[in-house]
Structure 1
Amino acid sequence: MFNLDWKRLGITAGLSLTLVAAGCGSSEEEASTDTSGGEDSEKASYGEQLDYTITGIEAGAGVVAASQKAVEEYESLAGWEVATSSSGAMATALGDAIENEEPIVVTGWSPHWKFAKYDLKYLKDPKGVFGEAEQIKTMVRQGLEEDKPNAYKILDAFQWTGEDIENVMLEINDGVAPEEAAKAWIEENQDKVSSWTEGTETVDGTEVELVYVNWDTEIASTNVVAEVLKQQGFDVTITPLNNGPMWEAVAEGEVAGMVAAWLPATHGDLYAEYKDSLVDLGENLEGAKVGLVVPSYMDVDSIEDLQPKE
């Protein structure tokens, strides 16, 4: 069983954003001397209102590293910084901003329930800093196929869609316990679940431990897989970890595996480090994406539309 002394994910209770009101002249004289243009002034004010800060998630996340690289690569982000927190704190800050129709720029990824709940858009990334569409893949420890072939077969067969995972994520976001949301989805999708368990035998209490990073996507997927394994007779433990320890736990054989590997970009460095010490079972979800996300009411469509700090 995996020792819980790992370096744990620090869950930040909340993220405070300082909003600086941008003053604008009201006199005719000031209006006549303003040559910046209304649209450019509005875009410039976004940075001022946000204190030139992008609302990030955990410091070890690939989307945060990519965002920090974007700050270096884009002249429009000169003087900006990425404030790390947690995925929960980011979602709270996003919801608060939208409720008040205020600007906000967040590190985003999909699938995610926020795209079903809010009207959002990715900022175009002309320099390709965030890469192309990603896959979420399943990784297991070496030897699992020989030691626990039925668990291996289920993990190998697990595959679903963005719509599937977002349905579970929305239920969890609405207050349903993750394991209950997983059970409800399994009950409504028996045909798909049966394809995962086809050719396997039930067991009697065989222990399996899965690890995951504490993101909404991985909470949903890991709970669904765990419930399927439980229904097949496994004694399942799921353990949340930070990105690095998650990969390390699988590579060192301390746990059975994970269904939370975002590739090729988000976890690319970790995959390169550990790929020779684990087994890659391929994608369980295609078409994932990461990037900078804003509410659709903001008058920006590209990272290059933002304005650098003066």
Structure 2
Amino acid sequence: MLENWKNQIIWITGMLLVLFLAACGSGSDSEENAEESSDSSMNIGEEVDYTITGIEPGAGITVTTEKAIEEYENLNGWEVEQSSTAAMVTELEKAMNNEEPIVVTGWNPHWMFTKFDNLKYLEDPQGVYGEVEQIKSLARTGLEEEKPNAYKLIDQFNWSVEDMEGIMYESSDTGEDIAAVAKQWVEDNPDKVAEWTDGVEDVDGVAVELVSTPWDSERASANVVAEALEQKGFNVTITPVDVAVMFEAIANGDGDATLAAWMPQTHADFYESFVDDFVDLGENLDGAKIGLAVPEYMEDINSIEDLEAK
């Protein structure tokens, strides 16, 4: 009898020891998992080499992102990788295909938000990137008097974010040049074009120069307006330049008009520098936006302030 009690005590003691060791091991694993989870959310900066993948130097969003790095203390040590829009989108697509972290400069209208529907803007608590933007049309001083019908059509030009992004996405998806896609868009949207050309008289080869930036969004607007103008008999030239030159060209009268002034934030510095030397025709598109964007699978990164300093 006594022997049986001893055996039971030994068995119970052994089971308690096994349970204790298992509990210790489980706790250790939980701590390790928690630490790994914490590391995955805290080392985003290190994983992307403290780099924001951007576009061309001098672009409005590039300039604003450089300001953001100065304004946000947690972006200390970060830098903007300046290349081209195509290179940025290539890096974005590669990262998203592999579900890897990436931070990019984003803006609407742009077809990447159509192609990548799981892309999200980061909150901007300090308002560096501003709120919703408008794209404005600007004309050189004297255009209304010298070329009233061109002035009238450009003044009446207005369309939507969806219109612009549709042209950009189709061009990207099919490989067809934006000019050709824009021409087809004008043919497919006679009602909208009729609003732009309302009261515009036909002319015979009057020259008009539209000055724009070389990005797809602005190429889309410049080409649809060029096509509408040419249908009224104008001879249109589109001159792509960087942002600073675009504003200077309109202010100096070297170009007739531009459809590519992003306000009130993106191109504010350029606008204010020449505001007395051009005619502001008002918005041609409302609902534009710029900011930093990341894929939605980066669930712990929802604000610029979630990006840690180097």
TM-score by length of structure 1 reads: 0.87
For the residues of structure 2 that align with 1:302 and 1:209, how far apart are their CA atoms?
Answer: 42
Computing the radius of gyration over CA atoms, which structure comes out larger, 1 or 2? 2
Contact 1:141 1:250 in 2 (8 A): yes
Q: In 1, are the aligned partners of 2:60 and 2:243 still within 8 Å (CA)?
A: no
* 1:139 corresponding residue in structure 2: 138
Pick from 87, 90, 96: which aligns with 2:88? 90
Residue 110 of structure 1: which of 108, 115, 127 is its match? 108
Contact 1:43-1:306 at 8 Å conserved across structures: no
Listed one character per residue, the Cα deviations across residues 180-218 of structure 1 (whole Å, up to 9, x for unaligned) are 111111112100100100101111111111111111210
Partners of 2:184 and 2:46 in 1: CA distance: 45
Q: CA RMSD in A?
A: 1.9
SS of aligned partner of 2:227:
helix
Determine the structure 2 residue equivalent to 1:5: none
Deviations 1:101-139 (A, max 9, x none): 211111111111011100210001111111111100000
SS of the counterpart of 1:132? coil
- CA change 1:73–1:36 in 2 (3 A) is farther
Q: TM-score, normalised by structure 2?
A: 0.87
Contact 2:178–2:216, Cα closer than 8 Å, also in 1 = no
SS of the residue aligned with 1:255? coil
Alignment correspondent of 1:126: 125
8 Å contact kept, 1:43–1:307: no
Structure 1, unaligned runs of 5 or more: 1-26
1:28 is displaced (CA, Å) by 9.2
Alpha-carbon distance change, 307 to 29 in structure 1, aligned in 2, over 3 angstroms: farther
1:244 Cα deviation from its structure 2 partner: 0.5
Alpha-carbon distance in structure 2 between the residues aligned to 1:30 and 1:87: 46
How many residue pairs align between the two structures?
A: 283
Greater percentage in helix: 2
1:213-228 correspondence runs (5 A): 213-228=213-228
TM-aligned CA deviation for residue 75 of structure 1 = 3.1
SS at match of 2:43: helix
| Deviation for aligned residue 1:265 | 0.8
Distance 2:258 2:92 in 1: 28
Q: 1:15 matched to which residue of 2?
A: none
User: Percent identity between the aligned chains?
Assistant: 55
Deviation of residue 240 (structure 1)?
0.9
Shift of 1:30: 8.7
